[in-house]
Amino acid sequence: MSTQAKKKESLTESVKTIVYALLIAGLFRTLFFQPFFIPSGSMKETMLIGDFLFVNKMSYGYSKWSCPKMVNFLCPISNRILGSEPERGDIVVFMHPTQKVEYVKRLVGLPGDKVQVTNGVVYINGQMSPQKDDGAFIEDYAQQGARGGFPRCVNPAPAQGSPCAKERFVETFPDGHSHTILNILNNNSVDNTATYTVPEDHYFFLGDNRDNSRDSRFSPPNDIGFVAKEYLVGKASRVIFSSSGKRMLYFWTWRKDRFFKKLQ
């Protein structure tokens, strides 16, 4: 075999290897786990801006949104298949019903539930979800993540680099699931809501950073409202890696205490 033929064969094998690797990676991402970066502070302190995690797609089965959104036409699935029902308290990644952008929130209301927020306290089917004072969540008042936004604080007008505080509570749902929530403002516009009745095959979501979350309390088309089952992508259960900087490669900004951190 000539040198030119060997080079051509080597190039062909390299291309085939790359194609196979991309196909395997695409299949893995579609069927099993999807990488996801936390871009906003709506789930603090459970999830921080810059947290990186893998979303378990096997938790709730598959819909057309299980495929990457650019090629979801390759998943000709009506509703969901091979799915199990999510549980109240799950941290869920889902596709925004109208904007087709992925969100992550906590599942609060199941199909048929009645959910209401009164004075900042969540009631599910008439039962209160009590909140126990857990001190304060403190972070630096500084630019965060790729967007470079500043956090919101209870203490007014902090100087850059100084402490930014939020009230912290442990919230417990009527079924016993407990998690941490944050409060910034009292008597906020969504601290008192109407009663939401969750439709069949839909879910009601809230962010843990209650005063800094666009969630099911806000109506579509611009906001989330109730989320249909078909838009669920998967369950988030553990942070793999976390960075407080603008770039993942800035190793000096890595949060060492959040490697493989389990989410509650």
DSSP strand E in 173-213: where? 178-183, 196-197, 202-206
Both structure tokens of 188: 């906020």
Q: How far from the centroid of its chain's Cα atoms is residue 61's Cα? A: 17
How far CA 46 is from CA of 69, 148, 179, 214, 233, in Å, comes to 26, 20, 8, 16, 19
What is the number of other CB atoms lying within 10 angstroms of the CB of residue 136? 13
| Pairing between β-strand 102-109 and β-strand 91-95 as defined by DSSP bridges | antiparallel
Q: How far is CA 199 from the centre of its chain?
A: 22
3-state secondary structure of 173: coil
Neighbours of 43 (CB within 10 A): 26
**Identity of residue 50:** G
Residues forming the active site: 42, 105
* DSSP conformational letter for 47: S
- Please write down the long-range contacts of 26-32, taking CB distance under 8 Å and 24 or more positions apart: 26/68, 29/68, 30/57, 30/66, 30/67, 30/68, 30/75, 31/57, 31/58, 31/62, 31/66, 32/56, 32/57, 32/58
